[in-house]
Amino acid sequence: MSEVEDFIYEYQDEKRDIMLYFHNLFVNELNLMAKIRFKIPFYYGKSWICYLNPNKSKEVELAFIRGNELSNAHGILETRERKQITSIEIRSVKEAPSSALLETIHEALLLDETTPYASKNKKKK
């Protein structure tokens, strides 16, 4: 098992299910690399794309590193007073807005493939 899978299996119930679902999607279907950074799983292609953060509450936060550059066409992402990162909190795999979320993930992947990552402090919009 990888270090990310070891991390995921430390959790129980819904948190584990959510993280396993997205981990398998990112690694097995979308061919992203996974690493533990800052004590949580990060996923990257050319650069960091997103991370999973199991909150103290019952949710898992799926956060996009370059969220300020995403369209958020479905309005599912929140900034939470951050300049660059946007995220969605997920309570269960069943309740996640699957089609909107998959479109957002594919937009993040396209951004990673086509637009080089500039500066952390540079906000486009």
The stretch 7-19 carries a mean pLDDT of: 94
The stretch 2-27 carries a mean pLDDT of: 95
Report which secondary-structure segment, H or E, holds 87.
strand 86-90
Is the pLDDT confidence value at 125 over 70? no
Supply the pLDDT for residue 121.
Answer: 52
Is the pLDDT confidence value at 63 over 80? yes
> CA 62 to CA 76: how far, in whole Å?
11
> CA 69 to CA 1: how far, in whole Å?
33
| Strand partners for 63 | 51, 87
More confident position, 125 or 74 = 74
**Strand, coil or helix: 10:** coil
Q: Are 18 and 24 in contact (CB under 8 A)?
A: no
